[in-house]
Amino acid sequence: MSSLPLVLFVFFTSFLQTVIASASTVSSIVQRRAAPSVTVVPAYVKAYSGDTVTVSCSAEGQPPYTLTFYLFNSNGGSRIPATHCTKSINTVQGTAACSVSTNQLHAGEYHIYCANSRGAGSTAKLELGRTMDRLVWMIEPMDLDVMVGTSAAFYCQAESPSKVTYRWIDSIYGMEIMANNYNFTTSVTSNDTAVMVFAPQALVDERVYLCKASNSATSIYSFFLVRTFTNITGVHGPQDLDLTLAYSSGTTGNFSCEFESETPANISWFLENGATVKVPINDSDVNSTYFGYTVSSDVSISPEIVKQLGITKISCEADNGFVTLAMAASVTLSFPAKILTPAASYTVKAGSEFSITCETEGSPTPQTSWTFTDEFDYPTILADVAIETKGSSNILTIQNIRISGTFKCFAINPLGSDSSIFKVTVI
């Protein structure tokens, strides 16, 4: 058997492998060099002869590439590149902008085309009107929330070389609002500003209106939203409450308030301390009832919370999305006198200075007093004793202590009393 077939087989096998590898490399290069995607913004432009129109072009793809803008009329024709609207891009994401002067262009439809150097492109439509047909907004009516029972005025103004006329339209019915009727008054001022005034009875819960401006060639529209709301009236607010009895019996303090609002209102409750820090009460602890335009709400709070947070005021607040109204009440918590300093024993040197602090709490503020009995349990009056009060603490100081015994701190207010003893051994 000749060796020629074997040689040919090896040759063709090597050739095919080379072709496949080359094809794979070319495919990889083509994928990496794929044309960037291109987008023109805005996609539609309305302008008039003499205007300067600006569009931007964004692209994303493998750099480098070039973005170039061209202008076409609606009948096609050769592309006219704007040399000052060419930009080289060296990043994956790139943008370019182009301003096109329309001084030499006739009215009609045009296309602004942005192309990259590898073939992809995107088009914006340019609708160019005659200079004499120009009609643009100078003042547009604003969305407005209006309280029921009050009037409101809306304004619009358009600029045009030719005469402008205005119409106000109710979008619900598609009907023109006539110049003067029971609900509306319309007029045009000396500086060509259209005015529409709503009478209080004309307002509805929510409605879209529009101002239409027209000249001899075209019309433009401006839409605006009118929402009406009602004020909130407080029927009754929470009452001042002394939680003395509730605290002593383990019950809670109950508060209620009531509002009227044609626009549905939500009620929130807040606790406030002496530092005017507002603490919201969880909605789950609030009970609100709606009946017609009236909303009633009540809440209960525990004396423990009042004491813990130092609460001095509680308020309920109604909010209908437009207006808020709050009503408040004072909260007083009375509880028995209590001594917070635990009993203790001390050993001191004879003739030294010695101090004991007795901290108390209670509402009303407790009155504090001291007694001393010697080691034989006889009441004794000590010399060189000074007593000082700092906040809720009562501090007893002896300049020259020489007698062992027991000091007793006694605190009392109208709701109760408490005492604590401090044994002192002098050596």
The residue among 79 and 303 whose pLDDT is bigger is: 303
- The pLDDT assigned to 180 comes to 74
Question: Is it the case that residue 146 has pLDDT exceeding 50?
Answer: yes
DSSP 368-418: EEEEEEETTS-B-PPSSEEEEEETTEEEEEESS----EEEEEEEEETTEEE
For 29-77, write each residue's pLDDT tens digit: 333 445 578 999 999 998 988 899 999 999 998 899 999 998 888 766 5
Residue type, 361: E
For 343-352, write each residue's pLDDT tens digit: 889 999 888 8
The residue among 202 and 126 whose pLDDT is bigger is: 126
Question: Is it the case that residue 81 has pLDDT exceeding 80?
Answer: no
- The pLDDT assigned to 82 comes to 53
The mean pLDDT value for 217-235 works out to 91
Asked if residue 314 lies in contact with residue 255, where contact means CB atoms within 8 angstroms, the answer is yes
Question: Is it the case that residue 158 has pLDDT exceeding 90?
Answer: yes
The region of weakest confidence among 74-83, 141-150, 232-241 is: 74-83
- The pLDDT assigned to 324 comes to 92
Pairwise CA distance, residues 68 & 80, whole Å:
11
CATH topology assigned to domain 233-333: Immunoglobulin-like (2.60.40)
Confidence band (pLDDT; 50, 70, 90) for 382? confident
The region of weakest confidence among 15-29, 242-256, 343-357, 413-427 is: 15-29
The mean pLDDT value for 178-184 works out to 79
Domain residue ranges of the chain, discontinuous segments joined by +: 37-129, 134-229, 233-333, 336-426
For 265-312, write each residue's pLDDT tens digit: 999 999 988 776 788 998 888 899 999 999 999 998 888 888 888 888
- The pLDDT assigned to 101 comes to 86
Question: Is it the case that residue 388 has pLDDT exceeding 80?
Answer: yes
- The pLDDT assigned to 19 comes to 38
Pairwise CA distance, residues 90 & 164, whole Å:
49
CATH second-level architecture of 37-129?
Sandwich (2.60)
- What value does the mean pLDDT of the chain take? 84
Question: Is it the case that residue 116 has pLDDT exceeding 60?
Answer: yes
The mean pLDDT value for 239-266 works out to 79
Pairwise CA distance, residues 282 & 299, whole Å:
10
Confidence band (pLDDT; 50, 70, 90) for 6? very low
In terms of C-beta density within 10 A (0-12 exposed, 13-18 middle, 19 or more buried), how is residue 205 classed? exposed
The mean pLDDT value for 146-156 works out to 90
Question: Is it the case that residue 326 has pLDDT exceeding 90?
Answer: yes
CATH superfamily of 134-229: Immunoglobulins (2.60.40.10)
Q: Do domains 134-229 and 336-426 have the same CATH topology?
A: yes
In this structure, whether the domain defined by 336-426 belongs to CATH 2.60.40.10 is answered with yes
Confidence band (pLDDT; 50, 70, 90) for 219? very high
- The pLDDT assigned to 31 comes to 38
108-116 and 184-188 beta bridge pairing: unpaired
The mean pLDDT value for 6-23 works out to 42
- The pLDDT assigned to 73 comes to 81
Pairwise CA distance, residues 105 & 99, whole Å:
14
The mean pLDDT value for 386-399 works out to 88
- The pLDDT assigned to 79 comes to 57
pTM of the model: 0.54
